[in-house]
């Protein structure tokens, strides 16, 4: 098919010039503005404790009169907020949900809600649509809006310059540390935990009184974070000191539970703030399915109108404290909260400790209070000025009436009053507007009696504004009032007595078992009691899949670790207790499926270990006639690794692997029907796991090793000429 010519080709136009743009210029002009917008205008909270989305929503509700009025439909609030926040209704409503009393995410909610707003501790409990719910501002919001109408904070244009909105809210307490906040920006993030309002107020007052207060002093006052969901903090003063000093670090939260002896169940009543009931249930359910949590029969969500409850039904004889120690280690019932106190201060993100945050908040609050008091003082000065003018006409009311009556033109009333009583234009205008009925001595005396109190109030305000010490004392007084009015007892308990580390060996019931491995990869764990019972019934033969056979049996204990050596140069680690207990009449568990082997991978040998002892080895015999001993300590790992790759050499197929605690004789047999008995002390010991070792038997062309047996006396009783004292050994014909 012929290629169609473009219009440009037809007109023979030159190609458009390519103007290269350096990557640095692209980042500076295209990427950096986006980055700064996300950091400054979206994800990181400011010193008032709010992100822009929070602030715009709450201010909209304030302007709607919802601080004192009745609740209104959430849809109305969402719609009105769009005048300040040009995002979709879903995003705005989701922001409001988190601030409500019904959701329970905050220690001190800002929104008094009615309806279903979901729950902070559940990801599945969805909140109702905005058309079904109602909301208004909580009375607590009086402390975040006080002074906003008195020029306490700067106002700025909204996105389309049709109305004004506050740059910050004049919070009368350090809300930045009372309300939890989390945000992910570009290249940075913020995660602030909540603290108890009473403790924060006390700590701020202490800082106002003594700017040199130490971190240890603050730790004594602000004891630890406090969360709306309760639970408990595993108290570690050093970890908390690091957080208080740097704004970074983590602490451990632990669920609160009670044990119901009558019902033999554990009721979890509070969980860490950083997790949800769904995550906990999923982990517990998975553990029950895989057999690692046999102590629990059932786990269920019993959240109702009375609050949170997660119930665990226990198996008879289970120790609830040991079980909870296990669950704290293996499930989100114990979780870490990582702190990153990254806050915007004057448009710049800063990671700060508690004292530094409180210091910045005090600086911010002093600015708000100064602006508010200045506004009040100016209003009082204006009123005083008018009353002083009113006082002037008290000396001769008849003269004031006569001036007004005798003035021919309205526009001359004010100038004539100014001339007659030595008033300025503002005072004269005020007097001219007084109703005729008020031009009497009683009214004027009553009004002018306020002059002295106004002068006293103005002097007090001027004194506060002129003294940093008095300004701080004024703020401290406000904080004490807020504490008395709104502070609640701590919800998150401090746990000083740790329950200790969970030990798998302590929790798993230990008993002797017989381990059986078949050629096809089936594994059985049989108790000796079950073996004796089978023998008494005359049915002690192992049930096997057709064509399968037992390749290894050994005794072990239920708490032992077990190694499975496969044909793919790998060793898989597990624990005996993680396998189901079966009878001889069962096929057992299929190891490749349970341990997730690769395709065509199967176990060749197994070994149960209590510990990795020095001097103990694994003997590997290869089809090429070579053999080697690898110390068992080479396979010891510190973590919970389940699979070790390159466990042995891949230069030749592995015939067998046998554990050696002390030297033993091994019969090596070949495809040609010959063999040799070699003591393992002749095999070389190599610390490199992939070493193939030395030649054990001299093979002719086309021959190879088919088997290697440790216990060979029953199968090959005649060992004449088979025992060799050096390697490589010469082969001798095998006789059964």
**The domain that contains 662 carries what CATH number?**
2.120.10.90
Q: What is the mean pLDDT of residues 182-198?
A: 91
Domain membership of residue 29 (yes or no) is: no
| Pair 516, 605 in one domain | yes
pLDDT at 193 over 60: yes
Which of 424, 456, 486 is the last residue before a domain boundary?
486
CA 6 to each of CA 9, 10, 11: distance values in angstroms, whole numbers, following the listed order: 5, 6, 9
Q: Is a pLDDT exceeding 60 seen at residue 583? A: yes
Residue 190 counted as domain residue? no
User: E strand or H helix at 368, and its extent?
Assistant: helix 354-393
- In whole angstroms, what is the distance from residue 100 CA to residue 117 CA? 7
Are 473 and 540 found together in one domain?
no
Residues 294, 258: Cα–Cα separation, whole Å: 20
Q: Do residues 682 and 632 lie in contact, with contact meaning Cβ atoms separated by under 8 Å?
A: no
CA distances from 356 to 47, 212, 337, 353, 432 (A): 11, 11, 21, 5, 55
Copy the structure tokens of residue 238.
């050093």
Region 366-371 average pLDDT: 96
SS3 content of the chain, % helix, strand, coil (to 5): 35, 25, 40
Higher confidence at residue 281 or residue 714?
A: 281
Tell me how far apart the alpha carbons of residues 705 and 699 are, in angstroms, rounded to a whole number: 8
Eight-class DSSP state of 27: I
The answer to whether position 102 is within a domain reads: yes
Position 1 pLDDT exceeds 50: no
Nearest Cα neighbor of 363 from 218, 157, 155, 176 is 176
Residues 567 and 685 in one domain: yes
CATH number assigned to the domain comprising residue 119: 3.90.199.10
What CATH number is given to the structural domain containing 276?
3.30.1360.40
Can you spell out the DSSP letters for 454-514?
HHHHHHHHHHHHT-HHHHHHHHHHHHHHHHHHH----SSEEE-S------HHHHS---EEE
- Quick one: pLDDT at residue 11? 59
Where a domain ends, among 452, 486, 520? 486
CA 243-194-119 angle, 5° bins: 135
Query: DSSP alpha helices (H): ranges in 394-449?
Result: 397-406, 413-421, 425-432, 441-448
3-state SS class at 620 = strand
Position 120 pLDDT exceeds 60: yes
In which band, very low, low, confident or very high, does the pLDDT at 431 lie, cut at 50, 70 and 90? confident
Which structural domain range is residue 592 located in?
Answer: 508-733
**Residue that terminates a domain, selected from 127, 142, 170:** 170
Percent residues over pLDDT 90 in the chain: 61
Residue 449 domain-assigned (yes or no): yes
Looking at the structure, tell me whether residues 559 and 706 fall in a common domain. yes
Least confident of 6-15, 87-96, 265-274, 705-714: 6-15
Residues 305 and 383 in one domain: no
Q: How far is C-alpha 26 from the chain's CA centre?
A: 35
Give the residue with greater pLDDT, 467 vs 20: 467
Query: Is residue 97 domain-resident?
Result: yes
Whole-angstrom Cα distance, residue 447 to residue 449? 5
* Residue among 548, 545, 549, 551 nearest 587 (CA): 545
Contact 274, 293 (CB under 8 A): no
Enumerate the β-bridge partners of residue 312.
266, 299
CA dist., res. 31 & res. 25, Å (int):
9
Q: Cβ(64)–Cβ(72) under 8 Å?
A: yes
How far out from the chain centre does Cα 183 lie?
12
Phi, psi (5° rounding) for residue 336?
-100, 140
Average pLDDT, the chain: 89
pLDDT of residue 305: 86
> Do 368 and 475 reside in the same domain of the chain?
yes
**For 133-153, what is each residue's pLDDT tens digit?**
999 999 999 999 999 999 999
pLDDT in tens, 538-556: 666 888 888 888 899 999 9
Give the CB-side neighbour count of residue 139, counting CA atoms within 13 A: 3
Between the alpha carbon of residue 535 and those of residues 448, 556, 584, 671, the distances in Å are: 114, 19, 10, 37
The residue to which tokens 């109408």 are assigned: 149
CB-count burial class (<10 Å; 0-12, 13-18, 19+) for 220: exposed
Write the DSSP assignment of 301-338 as a string of letters. Answer: E--BTTB--EEEEEPTT--HHHHHHHHHHHSTTEEEEE
Q: CATH number for the domain including 395?
A: 1.10.268.10
Among the listed residues 716, 570, 717, the one whose alpha carbon sits nearest the alpha carbon of residue 644:
570
Residue 38 clears pLDDT 80, i.e. is over it = no
Which of 75-79, 132-136, 622-626, 713-717 bottoms out in mean pLDDT, i.e. has the lowest? 713-717
Is the alpha carbon torsion for 520, 525, 528, 531 positive or negative?
Answer: negative
Partnered with residue 311 across adjacent β-strands are 267, 300
**Residue-wise DSSP of 74-135:** HHHHHHHHTTT--S-HHHHHHHHHHTBTTT--SSS-SEEEES----TT-SSSPPPPTTT-EE
The Cα–Cα gap between 505 and 509 comes to 8
Judge contact between 506 and 330, C-beta under 8 A.
no
- The single-letter DSSP state of residue 685 is B
d(CA 470, CA 195): 27
Q: Are residues 556 and 623 in the same domain?
A: yes
pLDDT digit string (tens) for 279-296?
A: 999 999 998 887 788 889
564 lies in the same domain as 604: yes
Domain assignment present for 148: yes
Output the pLDDT for position 2: 47
Considering 132, 159, 496, 511, which one is annotated as catalytic? 132
478 and 516 part of one domain: no
pLDDT at 500: 54
How far CA 473 is from CA of 114, 178, 478, in Å, comes to 39, 21, 9
**How far apart are alpha carbons 373 and 375 in whole angstroms?**
5
pLDDT at position 79:
95
Q: Is 132 a catalytic residue?
A: yes
pLDDT tens track for 199-245: 999 999 999 999 999 999 999 999 999 999 999 999 999 999 999 99
Give pLDDT tens digits for 303-341.
988 889 999 999 888 889 889 999 999 999 999 999 999
pLDDT in tens, 457-514: 999 999 999 999 999 999 999 999 999 999 999 999 999 866 555 555 555 677 888 9
Q: For the ranges 262-266, 273-277, 303-307, 468-472, which has the lowest average pLDDT?
A: 303-307
Residues 517 and 478 in one domain: no
Domain count within the chain: 4
Q: Is the dihedral of CA 198, 204, 205, 207 positive or negative?
A: positive
Same domain, 457 and 526: no
- Give the model's pLDDT for residue 498: 61
Q: Do residue 523 and residue 555 come from a single domain?
A: yes
Report residue 190's pLDDT band, with 50, 70 and 90 as the boundaries: very high
Question: Would residue 272 count as lying in a domain?
Answer: yes
């Amino acid at each position: 098919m012929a290629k169609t010519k473009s219009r440009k080709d037809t007109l023979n136009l030159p190609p458009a010039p390519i103007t290269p743009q350096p990557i640095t210029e692209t980042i500076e002009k295209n990427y950096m503005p986006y980055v700064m917008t996300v950091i400054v205008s979206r994800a990181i909270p400011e010193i008032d404790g709010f992100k822009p989305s929070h602030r715009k929503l709450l201010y909209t509700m304030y302007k709607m009169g919802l601080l004192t009025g009745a609740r209104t439909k959430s849809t109305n609030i969402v719609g009105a907020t769009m005048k300040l926040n040009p995002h979709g209704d879903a995003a705005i409503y989701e922001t409001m949900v988190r601030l409500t009393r019904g959701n329970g995410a905050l220690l001190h909610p800002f929104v008094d809600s009615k309806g279903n707003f979901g729950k902070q501790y559940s990801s599945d409990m969805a909140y109702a649509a905005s058309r079904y719910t109602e909301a208004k501002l909580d009375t607590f919001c009086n402390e975040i809006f006080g002074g906003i109408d008195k020029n306490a904070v700067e106002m700025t244009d909204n996105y389309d310059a049709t109305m004004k909105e506050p740059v910050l809210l004049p919070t009368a307490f350090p809300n930045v540390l009372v309300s939890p906040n989390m945000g992910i920006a570009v290249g940075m993030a913020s995660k602030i935990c909540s603290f108890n309002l009473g403790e924060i107020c006390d700590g701020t007052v202490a800082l106002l009184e003594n700017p040199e207060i130490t971190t240890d002093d603050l730790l004594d006052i602000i004891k630890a974070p406090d969360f709306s969901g309760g639970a408990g903090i595993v108290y570690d003063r050093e970890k908390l000191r690091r957080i208080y000093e740097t704004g970074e670090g983590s602490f451990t939260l632990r669920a609160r539970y009670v044990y119901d002896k009558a019902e033999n169940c554990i009721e979890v009543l509070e969980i860490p703030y950083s997790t949800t009931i769904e995550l906990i249930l999923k982990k517990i359910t998975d553990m029950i399915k895989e057999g690692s949590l046999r102590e629990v029969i059932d786990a269920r969500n019993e959240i109702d109108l009375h609050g949170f409850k997660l119930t665990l039904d226990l198996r008879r004889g289970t120790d609830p404290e040991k079980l909870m120690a296990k669950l704290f280690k293996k499930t989100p019932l114990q979780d870490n909260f990582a702190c990153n106190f990254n806050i915007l201060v004057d448009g710049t993100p800063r990671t700060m400790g508690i004292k530094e945050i409180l210091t910045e908040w005090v600086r911010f609050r002093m600015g708000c209070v100064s602006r508010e008091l200045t506004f009040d003082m100016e209003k009082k000065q204006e009123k005083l000025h008018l009353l002083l003018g009113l006082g002037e006409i008290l000396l001769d009311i008849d003269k004031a009436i006569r001036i007004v009556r005798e003035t021919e033109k309205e526009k001359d009333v004010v100038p004539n009053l100014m001339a007659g009583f030595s008033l300025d234009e503002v005072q004269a205008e005020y007097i001219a507007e007084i109703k005729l009925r008020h031009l009497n001595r009683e009214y004027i005396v009553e009004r002018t009696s306020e002059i002295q109190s106004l002068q006293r109030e103005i002097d007090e305000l001027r004194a506060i504004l002129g003294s940093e010490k008095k300004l701080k004392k004024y703020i401290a007084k406000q904080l004490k009032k807020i504490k008395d009015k709104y502070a609640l007892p701590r919800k998150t308990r401090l746990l000083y007595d740790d329950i200790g580390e969970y030990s798998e060996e302590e929790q798993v019931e230990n008993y002797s078992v017989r381990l059986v491995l078949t050629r096809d990869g089936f594994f059985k764990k049989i108790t000796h009691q079950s073996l004796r019972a089978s023998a008494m019934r005359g049915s002690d033969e192992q049930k096997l899949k057709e064509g399968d056979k037992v390749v290894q049996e050994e005794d072990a204990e239920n708490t032992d670790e077990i190694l499975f050596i496969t044909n793919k140069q790998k060793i898989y680690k597990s624990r005996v207790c993680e396998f189901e207990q079966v009878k001889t009449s069962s096929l057992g568990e299929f190891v490749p499926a349970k341990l997730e082997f690769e395709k065509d991978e199967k176990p060749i040998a197994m070994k149960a270990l209590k510990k990795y002892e020095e001097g103990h080895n694994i003997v590997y015999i290869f089809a090429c006639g070579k053999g080697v001993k690898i110390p068992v300590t080479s396979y010891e790992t510190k973590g919970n690794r389940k699979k070790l790759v390159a466990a042995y050499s891949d230069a030749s197929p592995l015939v067998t692997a046998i554990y050696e605690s002390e030297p033993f004789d091994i019969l090596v047999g070949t495809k040609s029907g010959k063999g040799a008995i070699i003591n393992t002390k002749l095999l070389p010991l190599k610390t490199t796991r992939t070493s193939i070792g030395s030649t054990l038997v001299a093979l002719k062309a086309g021959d190879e090793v088919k088997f290697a047996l440790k216990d060979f006396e029953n199968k090959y009783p005649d060992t004449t000429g088979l025992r060799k004292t050096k390697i490589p050994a010469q082969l001798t014909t095998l006789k059964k």
